[in-house]
């Protein structure tokens, strides 16, 4: 039996339409429309496309967005001054600094400068710390939130499940592990020093792969009947997007699996909108 293909585009549409309805509620109840400020500090063409897509997606659900485009040679002090200004601006609910940053900036310093209440990427240590303490009343990174929603679209009961997460980055692996733990899964986090990775993967009821290595996870590593979420995005020489998991072979064993593209990717933008709304609701409450 082939696995069910989890349709990230469809689930992302559901999330966006929930956000749109709540944006409208906020407008009616408080006369207020959430506002996302996006800072683009590099001239990287991919970043340009991402920022444009985010602004377009925001407009579609009724969220205002403004773009602050800086010259790539902008000094660290100028970027921090812009963040300070946006932190103080009561009309701004969410601040997103598009990564990667030009080399003169220190990413940690920049991300820590954002007011945690406006940190829609959820990367500020205060938000990460709350999440790791089991408190989800904070802003949580978008891709991990999308990952959990996709898992729950297949099976909403995660308690007692054996979950294996490949990757321990602040952006994906760690927050995914926190969210799974908060849902009472038994979580193992693997990384580049993990021994016997294939055995770990085989033991998983829920497998989340976020390592950034095309086709690294073989189909015969995947446990029968598991849910497989492939977060990886790898571009081949001919420009195709591929995941970290060998999709066809894994689909012969899994119960459900995400494709790349069309799996986790669309969820990330949907949860950026949700986080912007959550920030606005939190600040106006």
* One of 17, 43, 53, 192 touching ligand NAP (CB under 6 A): 192
Residue number, 157 or 191, with CB nearest to ligand NAP: 191
Cβ-contact 68, 92 below 8 angstroms: no
- The CB-of-285 to ligand NAP minimum distance in angstroms stands at 29
Q: Which residues have CB under 8 Å from 66's CB, separation 6+?
A: 35, 36, 37, 38
The DSSP 8-state label assigned to residue 156 in this structure reads: S
Say how far residue 271 (Cα) sits from the centre of its chain: 7
If one counts every other C-beta atom within 10 angstroms of the C-beta of residue 52, the result is 13
Q: Report d(CA 182, CA 84) in Å as an integer.
A: 33
Contact status: 229 vs ligand NAP (CB under 6 A): no
Q: Please say if 104 is a catalytic residue.
A: no
Determine the interface stretch with ligand NAP among 55-63, 73-81, 156-164, 187-195 (rule: CB under 6 A).
Answer: 187-195
Contact status: 213 vs ligand NAP (CB under 6 A): yes
- The CB-of-167 to ligand NAP minimum distance in angstroms stands at 4
- The CB-of-192 to ligand NAP minimum distance in angstroms stands at 3
Cβ-contact 120, 273 below 8 angstroms: no
- 3-state SS, one letter per residue, for 108-168: HHHHHHCCHHHECCCCCHHHHHHHHCCCCCCCCCHHHHHHHHHHHHHCCCCCCCEEEEECC
Q: Report d(CA 93, CA 279) in Å as an integer.
A: 6
Contact status: 194 vs ligand NAP (CB under 6 A): yes
Q: Which of 93, 115, 119, 121 is catalytic?
A: 121
Q: Please say if 98 is a catalytic residue.
A: yes
Binding residue count for ligand NAP, defined by CB under 6 A: 26
Q: Please say if 161 is a catalytic residue.
A: no
Contact status: 166 vs ligand NAP (CB under 6 A): yes
Contact status: 191 vs ligand NAP (CB under 6 A): yes
Residues 240-269 within binding reach of ligand NAP (CB under 6 A): 264-265, 268
Cβ-contact 115, 279 below 8 angstroms: no
Q: Which of 54, 118, 161, 278 is catalytic?
A: 54
Residues lying near ligand NAP in the complex (CB under 6 A): 143, 166-169, 171-173, 190-194, 197, 210-213, 216, 231-234, 264-265, 268
Which positions are catalytic?
Answer: 54, 98, 121
């Amino acid at each position: 039996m082939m696995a069910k293909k989890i349709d990230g585009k469809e689930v992302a549409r559901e999330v966006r339409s929930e956000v749109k309805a709540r944006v409208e509620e906020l407008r009616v109840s408080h006369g207020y429309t959430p506002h996302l400020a996006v800072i683009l500090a590099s001239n990287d063409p991919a970043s340009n496309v991402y920022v444009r897509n985010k602004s377009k997606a925001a407009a579609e659900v009724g969220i205002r967005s403004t773009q602050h485009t800086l010259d790539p040679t902008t000094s660290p002090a100028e970027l921090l001054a812009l963040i300070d200004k946006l932190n103080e601006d009561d009309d701004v609910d969410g601040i997103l600094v598009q990564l990667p940053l030009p080399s003169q900036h220190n990413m940690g310093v920049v991300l820590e400068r954002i007011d945690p209440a406006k940190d829609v990427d959820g990367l500020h240590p205060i938000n990460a710390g709350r999440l790791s303490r089991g408190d989800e009343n904070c802003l949580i990174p978008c891709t991990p939130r999308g990952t959990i929603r996709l898992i729950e679209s297949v099976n909403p009961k995660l308690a007692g499940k054996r979950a294996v997460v490949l990757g321990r980055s602040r952006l994906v692996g760690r927050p995914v592990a926190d969210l799974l733990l908060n849902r009472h899964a038994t979580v193992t986090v693997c990384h580049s020093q993990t021994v016997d990775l294939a055995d770990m993967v085989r033991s998983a009821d829920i497998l989340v792969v976020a390592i950034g290595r095309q086709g690294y996870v073989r189909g015969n590593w995947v446990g029968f009947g598991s849910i497989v979420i492939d977060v990886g995005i790898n571009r081949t020489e001919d420009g195709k997007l591929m995941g970290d998991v060998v999709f066809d072979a894994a689909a012969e064993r899994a119960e459900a699996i995400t494709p790349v593209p069309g799996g986790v990717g669309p969820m990330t933008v949907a949860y950026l909108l949700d986080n912007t709304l959550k920030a606005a609701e939190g600040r106006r409450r």
